[in-house]
Structure 1
């Protein structure tokens, strides 16, 4: 399907962070955009405010009239998170509409563009957002599809006037194999999505296939130590080709020096905490320099990057109490997040509120989750967020809690969390998870403000 022949686009699962970015893209192009999702959220409300019609009822009668017929010039974009027997999906399938997954649509959009694709089991949202910000802030420009809401732009999609596209390449369901990037980044290849891949070897094979789809003459940047051939390595180490060195904490910022075979940039200041974010920034700098952007402008752009919503986001800080929220939902992400917190606040008692995401992920990595969560000072554990999955017998929050060696721990509901924080006034709070734990962010913030 060619973009020029699409007049209407309907999104089944429009409330997803990746889906909503594409919806905004087509609305900006002038196509009629509408969608369905199960529940109304802040994100769907924002889309409605932007003029996109959304229904929350899975019935044919709820569809806008323009999407009942007109199959020949209508694109339907769907997410695998929507049940296959959904009434709206069945309507489109049974009436000759063109149905595409989000990843396929990104492949269509990126055709003919200079594509920078960022993949990895974690780190890809922040990395792609930093790259896009540097290109925007320095005047190089780009269009970008991101997996989070960037704080600088308050959006998950950026529009550019040139032919450059930055895209987060998702490994789930092998989605990134629809892309053919000019520059590819692979941030990590830790075992994840084992419900799809079965084991780590098949996951790694998909990343190698993704790397094999780079256009002739293109570049592959890979985190140092990943088993990938013909790549440019990057890391916060002295042995990587693109490297961050002399890493230190100054106040609430991380500062480092950038080096590669051609450039040295001293005293780069980064608002985002943690070695992992320094490494994410390092590869973004390397790409910007490859594109010919002035090193001084790159350094300035990095210094004013404010981060991504729900990626180590400061929600509240009055000097006595600090509340940080993070999207971490894999053991390696939790470890990186905890390490960053400890580096910034080594003397504060850390209260962690964690919501596990997916029954299969909790089962497959229970030992790893338990090991990381045991390093907190205090743990409030919410029930597992099921997302697309049905329950697994015996796999619940209590199953995970039993494996955690920490003494000060409990399974609880969200209402208990709010009352507990009100009563005990923890000095350092961290909410982590990828489910609906974000629904307690504002109530927690209000609790702290009114304490």
Structure 2
């Protein structure tokens, strides 16, 4: 096994993944040679290329540069989304290279630092990004490896050589978070998800509890009130957070003013009055309570938090306004689980209670659609109109009988239609539009800028 000091080159199989790209940026920052493969060119891969990362888009060993073929100085990092029979991955394995999963490399990088790990089946990207922002805008400072592009910094990687803290998004997929050793850990949700990996809800719960067991002695667990977290080690402190229940960290006196929330925070450190959000949505108030809790635990001052919180500009594809005008509102969000969709729609309805709401949803994965079709139907039923795109398969092969029409057939609201990407804009314009949401974790992000430009022309005419 290579040590960090011995690594001269790093090759990424699946470099365009949001978690992979943060690590690629770290090694590039450290002055190493960084290159990789990905299946398709995206906004993120183009950004990496502009930063000096060499990327190709064919599974072809011949395109691997010579300096990445020295196993004595090259670390190979891969994402579990890459199939085992991938030609380049097989080449490195067969040649005896040090080949490691992304999560194992993240564990290696963060070893010896104060890891602030944010876990949960949803909310973790926003909470970890908010937390990183609060730390960065304070005297404490931080390093960060995030699962989203923070609009303030236009990146998912932050570096501060003078800070001992590293903020990490702890991903439950493929049990990746079990490679981490948290000093502080936050747990936001333990809903059923990734059943293709875990099989059932009980296995998911067991994995999260195993993650909690990895918290260092003297560390802290901060979890959303109401989660079933028991038998925690006596060697760690446990706190709760919430906006709806009694908790150690809680938002009180919540007010919606001009589309943004203001609140006071009650905590074991005292009450912080007059906090203002910089991003919309009630769910983000709860996310902020968790992030502020982690910041206070790490020594960030209340005045620093009051200044930094309203300056947080959000994350790419997390309740992101693309159009905000009197004629039309277009919001883009990564929501791809029924509970995430519920939270997003609840927030939209709070801000626009009298508006007609149209949702464009692209289901993500055949297995997730199969397992949660009824949940998706219930979530989407509250909308005025729903347009469903075909399922984004990602790493999966089709499953017979599983498609977007499956969701439509379970909905009681009949203002639902399965449409193609090519026909989406025309279908949208057939009926009244006031608030339009684009939801999903697949390649719908490529359609959003196109849709945005077409809608801007449409409303200008």
The equivalent of 1:366 in structure 2 is 373
The equivalent of 2:145 in structure 1 is 145
The equivalent of 1:254 in structure 2 is 261
Give the Å deviation of 1:261. 2.6
> 2: distance between equivalents of 1:371 and 1:214?
37
Describe the SS at the equivalent of 1:227. coil
The equivalent of 2:363 in structure 1 is 356
Describe the SS at the equivalent of 1:156. strand
> 1: distance between equivalents of 2:212 and 2:180?
10
Give the Å deviation of 1:117. 0.4
TM-score, structure 1 normalization: 0.98
The equivalent of 1:160 in structure 2 is 160
Deviations 1:83-110 (A, max 9, x none): 2111111110111110100000000001
Give the Å deviation of 1:317. 1.4
* Contact 2:36–2:55, Cα closer than 8 Å, also in 1: yes
Q: Report the more deviating stretch, 26-35 or 401-410.
A: 401-410
> 1: distance between equivalents of 2:416 and 2:428?
14
* Contact 1:316–1:324, Cα closer than 8 Å, also in 2: yes
Give the Å deviation of 1:61. 1.1
Describe the SS at the equivalent of 1:414. coil
* Contact 2:225–2:245, Cα closer than 8 Å, also in 1: no
In structure 2, which of residues 383, 397, 401 is the aligned counterpart of residue 394 of structure 1? 401
Describe the SS at the equivalent of 1:364. helix
* Contact 1:237–1:245, Cα closer than 8 Å, also in 2: no
* Contact 2:260–2:281, Cα closer than 8 Å, also in 1: no
> 2: distance between equivalents of 1:272 and 1:52?
32
* Contact 2:13–2:37, Cα closer than 8 Å, also in 1: yes
Give the Å deviation of 1:423. 5.0
Describe the SS at the equivalent of 2:72. helix
> 1: distance between equivalents of 2:414 and 2:436?
18
Give the Å deviation of 1:139. 3.2
Deviations 1:117-153 (A, max 9, x none): 0000000000000000001112321110000000100
The equivalent of 1:33 in structure 2 is 34
> 2: distance between equivalents of 1:169 and 1:293?
22
The equivalent of 2:97 in structure 1 is 97
> 1: distance between equivalents of 2:299 and 2:174?
35
The equivalent of 2:84 in structure 1 is 84
Describe the SS at the equivalent of 1:365. helix
> 1: distance between equivalents of 2:434 and 2:287?
29
The equivalent of 1:244 in structure 2 is 251
Q: Give the 5 Å matches for 1:38-49.
A: 38-49=39-50
Deviations 1:189-220 (A, max 9, x none): 00101111111111001100000000110000
The equivalent of 1:190 in structure 2 is 191
> 2: distance between equivalents of 1:146 and 1:425?
38
The equivalent of 2:112 in structure 1 is 112
| Number of aligned residue pairs | 450
* Contact 2:113–2:164, Cα closer than 8 Å, also in 1: yes
Describe the SS at the equivalent of 1:402. helix
> 2: distance between equivalents of 1:111 and 1:138?
23
Describe the SS at the equivalent of 1:415. coil
In structure 1, which of residues 435, 439, 444 is the aligned counterpart of residue 446 of structure 2? 439
> 2: distance between equivalents of 1:147 and 1:31?
22
Q: Give the 5 Å matches for 1:311-322.
A: 311-322=318-329
Give the Å deviation of 1:407. 1.7
> 2: distance between equivalents of 1:218 and 1:426?
50
> 2: distance between equivalents of 1:260 and 1:96?
52
> 1: distance between equivalents of 2:201 and 2:253?
33
Deviations 1:222-267 (A, max 9, x none): 0000111352110003510111112121111011110013310112
Give the Å deviation of 1:424. 4.2
Deviations 1:407-428 (A, max 9, x none): 2110001111122334546111
The equivalent of 2:67 in structure 1 is 66
Describe the SS at the equivalent of 2:437. strand
Describe the SS at the equivalent of 1:297. helix
> 1: distance between equivalents of 2:367 and 2:96?
35
Give the Å deviation of 1:82. 1.4
* Contact 1:252–1:271, Cα closer than 8 Å, also in 2: no
Residue 235 in structure 1 maps to residue 235 in structure 2: no
The equivalent of 1:5 in structure 2 is 6
TM-score, structure 2 normalization: 0.96
> 1: distance between equivalents of 2:429 and 2:54?
39
Give the Å deviation of 1:436. 0.5
Q: Give the 5 Å matches for 1:401-416.
A: 401-416=408-423
Give the Å deviation of 1:346. 0.5
